[in-house]
C-alpha cells in the first residue's frame, strides 16, 4: 500500500516515574519523570468525497486491533457549548472509547474557537489513525524481543480476522504489532498509553486543522497550549483531576515535575454544556499566566553518559486507583509519621536526581537503595503493596547482574513494569535477557526486557513514510 499525498503525523512518548510516585499528588513535592522511546502515533488525513457530497464525520481507527474503529458525527452545541461529537454505530457495534471521544470534544472546540474562520467551517471531516509501539502491550503470543522503533512495516495480511497461531510470532516483529484481540483484550505494560494517546491525538488535531501561525508544535507557546488542552481532556476522560505527570511527560519528555492545583480544572464545564467553549479557551490560553501553577523542569533531569533507563514487563498489572486511595487514607490518618516519611523520601528522590544529573555513576546504587527503603516502609505502614515481595526479590536479584545499577517499581508501584538503571551496551542487554529468561522458568512467571528506553524528547511531528502500509 502506498503513501497518501497529504496528511500530518505526530507522536508522543510514554512515561516512567522513577521517583516520587505518590508524592507527586501533592504540590509540596516533585516527581522524577522520564519519557520513553515507546510512542503513540497519530496520523491525520482529510476524507475526500465525491463532488457535492458533504460529510461531518471524524473516523478514528487503531488497525493493530480487531474491530477498533470509532466514527463520530459532530455539531456546534448551543449556548457556547463548543463542538460536540456523537458516536455513530458501525453495523451492530457501538463500543465507546472515552479517551478518544473526550479528546475530540475538547480539541475540536478549541480549534473552532482559535480558527479565524467561522466555527462551523473550521472543522472538516478527517480520518485519524492510531499506532502504538509494541512495548505498550504485553505480547504473550511471542517469545521474540520486540524490535527497535525504526522498522514500522505492517504484517502482509491487513485483514481484521484472527490470524492462525503459526503467524503470531511474525505479527510481533515489526514496530507496530497486529494483535489478534480487540483493544479491550490487550494487556497494558503500564507505560502511560492513555496520556500519550490523548496528547498525540490532541497534537495531531491541532496540527491538522490550524495553520502554523496559530499552532506550532515545536514552539514554546505551542507546547504550552498543547499541554494545557491535553491535561484538561485527559482529566475529563478519567473522570477526575490527576497529578498530570504523564501528560507532561508526553508533551515535554523527561523532567522534574510539580503538579498543578486541582482548582485549575475543577470549574471547567462538561463538554457541550453552556459556556464550555469560552471557559476551555480561557484555561488553555492562560494569557496572563496566572491559571496554571505547574512546574516542569527539563534542566533538572539527565542521565550519566553510557547509562539508560530500561523497563521489564511482568505482564500482570495493578489497580492503581485503589492503591492511591489507600495510601492517601493512611496519610490522612497518620499525619505526623506519614509527613516525616514523605519529607525524607522527597530528599532522597532529589538526591537520586542530583546523582544522575551530576554523572556520579558510583553513587547511583546507594541512592536507589535509599529510595526503595522508604517506599517499602510506606507500603508496610499503609498496607498497600507498593513494592510487593515478589518485586523486591526480583529487584534484589537484578542488582547481581553485571551492568545493572539498580531498579525500582515505578510510579504507584504494584505489579506493573519495573524500571532499571543500566549500562547502555549490548553486553548488559544480553545478560539481562538471559537472567530474565532463567528467572521466568524458575519462578513460573513471565518477565521480559522491553525494547523501550528512556529518552528526553516529548511530542514531535513525524514523517509519513514511517507508517507506509498502515495508512491509506
- In this predicted structure, the answer to whether residue 210 has a pLDDT above a threshold of 50 is yes
Contact assessment for residue 460 and residue 219, using Cβ atoms and an 8 Å cutoff: no
pLDDT per residue as tens digits for the range 282-322: 999 998 889 999 999 999 999 999 999 999 988 655 556 68
Mean pLDDT of the chain: 88
- In this predicted structure, the answer to whether residue 393 has a pLDDT above a threshold of 80 is yes
DSSP string over 216-262: -TTSHHHHHHHHHHHHHHHHHHHTS----HHHHHHHH-SEEEEPPPT
pLDDT per residue as tens digits for the range 35-81: 999 999 999 999 876 565 566 899 999 999 998 999 999 999 999 99
Burial grade of 167 (CB within 10 A; 0-12, 13-18, 19 or more)? middle
Please choose, from the candidates 247, 238, 140, 129, the residue with its C-alpha nearest in 3D space to the C-alpha of residue 187: 140
Distance CA(360)–CA(355), nearest Å, equals: 5
Question: By three-state DSSP, how is residue 284 classified?
Answer: helix
Distance CA(369)–CA(91), nearest Å, equals: 55
Task: For each of the domains in the chain, give its residue range(s) and CATH number, in order of start.
Answer: 8-298+462-467 (3.30.230.10), 303-455 (3.30.70.890)
**Residue 361: which pLDDT band, with cuts at 50, 70 and 90?**
very high
Which H or E element spans position 74? strand 69-76
Predicted local distance difference test score (pLDDT) of residue 155: 42
For helices 98-114 and 276-285, angle between their N-to-C axes, nearest 10 degrees? 80
Distance CA(111)–CA(83), nearest Å, equals: 9
Cβ-Cβ contacts under 8 Å for 32 (sequence gap 6 or more): 17, 18, 19, 20, 256, 301, 349, 352, 353
pLDDT per residue as tens digits for the range 242-266: 899 999 999 999 999 999 999 999 9
Distance CA(235)–CA(195), nearest Å, equals: 10
Q: Which three cell numbers stand for residue 56?
A: 461531518
DSSP structure class, residue 173: S
Predicted local distance difference test score (pLDDT) of residue 157: 37
Poorest-confidence range of 86-95, 209-218, 372-381, 413-422?
Answer: 86-95
Amino acid at each position: 500500500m502506498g503513501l497518501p499525498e497529504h496528511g500530518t503525523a505526530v507522536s508522543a512518548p510514554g512515561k516512567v516515574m522513577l521517583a516520587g510516585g505518590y508524592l507527586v499528588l501533592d504540590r509540596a513535592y516533585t516527581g522524577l519523570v522520564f519519557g520513553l522511546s515507546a510512542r503513540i502515533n497519530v496520523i491525520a488525513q482529510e476524507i475526500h468525497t465525491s463532488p457535492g457530497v458533504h460529510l461531518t464525520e471524524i473516523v478514528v481507527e487503531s488497525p493493530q486491533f480487531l474491530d477498533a474503529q470509532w466514527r463520530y458525527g459532530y455539531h456546534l452545541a448551543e449556548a457556547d457549548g463548543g463542538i460536540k461529537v456523537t458516536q455513530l454505530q458501525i453495523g451492530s457495534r457501538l463500543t465507546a472509547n472515552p479517551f478518544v471521544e473526550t479528546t475530540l470534544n475538547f480539541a475540536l472546540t478549541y480549534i473552532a474557537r482559535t480558527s479565524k474562520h467561522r466555527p462551523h467551517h473550521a472543522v472538516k471531516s478527517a480520518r485519524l489513525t492510531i499506532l502504538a509501539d509494541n512495548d505498550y502491550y504485553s505480547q504473550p503470543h511471542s517469545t521474540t524481543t520486540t524490535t527497535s522503533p525504526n522498522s514500522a512495516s505492517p504484517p502482509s495480511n491487513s485483514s481484521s480476522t484472527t490470524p492462525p497461531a503459526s503467524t503470531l510470532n511474525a505479527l510481533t516483529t515489526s514496530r507496530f504489532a497486529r494483535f489478534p484481540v480487540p483493544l479491550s483484550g490487550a494487556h497494558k505494560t503500564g507505560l502511560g498509553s492513555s496520556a500519550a494517546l490523548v496528547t498525540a491525538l490532541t497534537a495531531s488535531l491541532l496540527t491538522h486543522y490550524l495553520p502554523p501561525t496559530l499552532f506550532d508544535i515545536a514552539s514554546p507557546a505551542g507546547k504550552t497550549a498543547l499541554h494545557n488542552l491535553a491535561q484538561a481532556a485527559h482529566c475529563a476522560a478519567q473522570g477526575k483531576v490527576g497529578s498530570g505527570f504523564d501528560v507532561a511527560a508526553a508533551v515535554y519528555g523527561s523532567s522534574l515535575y510539580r503538579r498543578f492545583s486541582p482548582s485549575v480544572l475543577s470549574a471547567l464545564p462538561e463538554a457541550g454544556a453552556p459556556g464550555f467553549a469560552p471557559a476551555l479557551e480561557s484555561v488553555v490560553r492562560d494569557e496572563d499566566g496566572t491559571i496554571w501553577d505547574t512546574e516542569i523542569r527539563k534542566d533538572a533531569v539527565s542521565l550519566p553518559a553510557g547509562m539508560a533507563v530500561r523497563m521489564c514487563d511482568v505482564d500482570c498489572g495493578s489497580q492503581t486507583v485503589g492503591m492511591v486511595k489507600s495510601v492517601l487514607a493512611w496519610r490522612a490518618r497518620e499525619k505526623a509519621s506519614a509527613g516525616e516519611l514523605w519529607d525524607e523520601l522527597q530528599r532522597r528522590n532529589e538526591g537520586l536526581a542530583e546523582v544522575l544529573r551530576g554523572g556520579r555513576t558510583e553513587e547511583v546504587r546507594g541512592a536507589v537503595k535509599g529510595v526503595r527503603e522508604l517506599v517499602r516502609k510506606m507500603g508496610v505502614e499503609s498496607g498497600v503493596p507498593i513494592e510487593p515481595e515478589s518485586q523486591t526479590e526480583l529487584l534484589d536479584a537484578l542488582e547481581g547482574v553485571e551492568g545493572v545499577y539498580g531498579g525500582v517499581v515505578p510510579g504507584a508501584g504494584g505489579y506493573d513494569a519495573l524500571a532499571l538503571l543500566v549500562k547502555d551496551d549490548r553486553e548488559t542487554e544480553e545478560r539481562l535477557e538471559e537472567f530474565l529468561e532463567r528467572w521466568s522458568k524458575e519462578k513460573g512467571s513471565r518477565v521480559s526486557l522491553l525494547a523501550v528506553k528512556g529518552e528526553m524528547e516529548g511530542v514531535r511531528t513525524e514523517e509519513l513514510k514511517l507508517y507506509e502500509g498502515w495508512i491509506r
